[in-house]
Structure 1
Amino acid sequence: MKKIKLEILGLSPSQSQSGSFALVLGEEMGNRRLPIIIGVFEAQAIAVQIENIVPNRPMTHDLFKSFATALNFKLKEIIISDLREGIFYAKIICSDDLREVEIDSRPSDAIAIGLRFNAPIYTYENILSEAGIVSSAMAEDEDEDDDLVRETIRPKGTLTEQLKELPNDELQRLLDEALKNEEYEKAAKIRDELGRRN
């Protein structure tokens, strides 16, 4: 199966789940985004490495790197390998030059560890097709229909219930606006509704 390289685009606090963050991965050679909801500790471990902050004592992911290095294991790559019932799965691919080992992991831990090894992050086309968000109109006509887009979701029922009442073209406009405003959790819900209709 062909792998697609991803890059980390950002971390933002979850608006609906306190203590959670949206980790946004982007397709390196495309315009699809893959938002993954992660815990606050995993977000901190990723942010610390992205910002090159050195903690006083090693964090768990730093310990993993020290342990692997001491045993002469190299981390080759991280793969977001599966999506089942809305839950992402990942694999850490390691090697000691004699054998290659796949270690099952949560994506947040795999990425936090992978960053410490400067390892590339990949996924497969079927995962990006199912859970990726395409930003088709972010750069064009940003101001057009802004008022209409803001008024599209009316305050009655949950966001998911409101989305069910909207036509596809309005959902696509809402999706583009959510991506422009970096509201990845909202974008994921809109994406899910669009996917449910296809």
Structure 2
Amino acid sequence: MEMSVIGIALDAASRSPIVLLRDLSRRRQVPIWIDQAQAHNIMAGLNGEPSPRPLSHDLMVRLLAAGELHLERVIIHAIEDSTFRAVLKLSHDVPSDAIEDFTEGESIEENEASEEPLDIDARPSDAIALAIRTGSSIWMLEEVVAEASIAVDAEADAEDRNEFRRFLDQVSPAAMVRHLETRQPQDDPSDKETDDDNLG
């Protein structure tokens, strides 16, 4: 099921930021708990805010372009131990005149086999930030939507997003660090992984 990013909200109980995904029919919505840095990266992408120095996801986009890789779509495919799992679906950008570069005796099928699509595991917050910057689609498996979705309340969502913006305007860097250390409720599905996992 294709999803769109509605915005960033603030959990009233934990004061943790949440990225809100909604299906295109606007009937089902999935919240994913993230941290302040991830929320900032996603909001910067949504707002198209220029940065004096490239953010990490801006750098990732440039690296994909340098490697002639195209992010086709993002798929959030599972929830394991209250953690969402996502994968990046990448393909190779093949120039229109690439066929002229084939060596003698090489078939188109052989060349296509060497350019197989790539699947790369990623945190949903990183995957979403990249999808926003590249204009790629975001998908979520039906069973994940069924397990994690909540009823859509547009008025409450707007107030939550406004509250998060006010929070960002008021918080200092030191206060943000303290907030991150105490932020995550364990029962809410998030994209946080344990210390033993590779965060990617």
Is the pair's TM-score, using the shorter chain for normalization, greater than 0.5?
Answer: yes
CA distance in 1, matches of 2:41, 2:26: 27
- Aligned-residue identity in percent: 26
CA distance in 1, matches of 2:64, 2:47: 23
1:83-141 residue CA offsets vs partner (Å, 9 max, x unmatched): 11221111111111522111111100100011111000000110111111134xx6xxx
Find the residue that maps to 1:181 and give its secondary structure: helix
State whether residues 18 and 34 of structure 2, in contact with CA within 8 Å, keep that contact through their aligned partners in structure 1: yes
- Number of residue pairs matched? 140
CA distance in 2, matches of 1:43, 1:30: 22
Which letter does structure 1 place at the counterpart of 2:59? Answer: L
* 2:120 alignment counterpart: 103
Instruction: State TM-score, norm by structure 1.
Output: 0.66
* 1:126 alignment counterpart: 143
* 2:33 corresponds to 1:37: yes
Which letter does structure 1 place at the counterpart of 2:122? Answer: S
Which letter does structure 2 place at the counterpart of 1:32? Answer: R
* 1:14 alignment counterpart: 11
Instruction: Name the Cα RMSD after superposition.
Output: 2.1
Q: Unpaired segments of 5 or more residues in structure 1? A: 139-178, 185-190, 193-198
Instruction: State TM-score, norm by structure 2.
Output: 0.65
* 2:91 corresponds to 1:74: no
Q: Unpaired segments of 5 or more residues in structure 2? A: 94-114, 162-187, 190-200
Counterpart mapping for 1:31-180 below 5 A:
31-97=27-93, 98-135=115-152, 180=155
* 2:105 alignment counterpart: none
Q: Which has the higher contact order (CA 8 A, sep 6+)?
A: 2
- Stretches (4+) displaced over 4 A: none
1:45-86 residue CA offsets vs partner (Å, 9 max, x unmatched): 010111110100111101111111001000000111111122
CA distance in 2, matches of 1:68, 1:17: 35
Find the residue that maps to 1:114 and give its secondary structure: helix
1:156-197 residue CA offsets vs partner (Å, 9 max, x unmatched): xxxxxxxxxxxxxxxxxxxxxxx642269xxxxxx99xxxxx
Find the residue that maps to 1:61 and give its secondary structure: helix
